Amino acid sequence: MIETNFISKFKYAIKGLVYLWRREKSFRWQVVAAALVQVVALGLRLEATIWALLTLTSAIVLCAEAFNTVLERLLDIVEPRLSTQVSLLKDLLAAAVLIVVLAALAVVLIILI
C-alpha cells in the first residue's frame, strides 16, 4: 500500500513537470540554462561541492518558477477578471522569480569567473 501511494505521488510530480514544460516558456528556458550550467561544470571538472551548489541553485530557480505558476493559476481561479490587485500580485510573483534568477546568475558568475 505504501509503495503504491509513493508511486502515485511520483506520477503526480511527473505530471506537474510535464505541465510546466509544455505550458511555461520561462520554465523551459530555465531548464535549458540549468542544463548548460551542468555541462559547463562537467567540462571544467569543478569540485563536487561547487557542482552541488550550482545544482542546488538551479533547482531553486526551477522551484521558484513552479511556485509562481501555481500562485498565478490560483489567482486566475479566485479572480478570473484581471483586476488591479491581481495584476499587482502577479507582478510581485514575477519579481520574486527575477530575484531568484539574478541571485542564481550571481552564484554562477562568482564560481565561473
**What CATH number should be reported for the domain holding residue 63?**
1.10.287.3610
Q: Is 76 annotated as a binding residue?
A: no
Q: Which cell numbers in the block locate residue 93?
A: 510573483
Question: Is 3 a catalytic site residue?
Answer: no
Q: Is 79 annotated as a binding residue?
A: no
Residue with cell 527575477: 98
Amino acid symbol at 76: D
Domain ranges, residue 93: 2-112
Q: Which of 3, 47, 65, 79 is catalytic?
A: 65
Asked whether residue 1 carries a pLDDT value surpassing 70, the answer given is: no
What is this structure's pTM?
Answer: 0.89
Q: Is 47 annotated as a binding residue?
A: no
State whether the Cα torsion 95-18-74-83 is positive or negative. Answer: positive
Give the total number of structural domains in the chain.
Answer: 1
What integer pLDDT is reported at residue 69 of this predicted model? 97
Asked whether residue 105 carries a pLDDT value surpassing 80, the answer given is: yes
The tens digit of pLDDT for each residue in 45-69 reads: 999 999 999 999 999 999 999 999 9
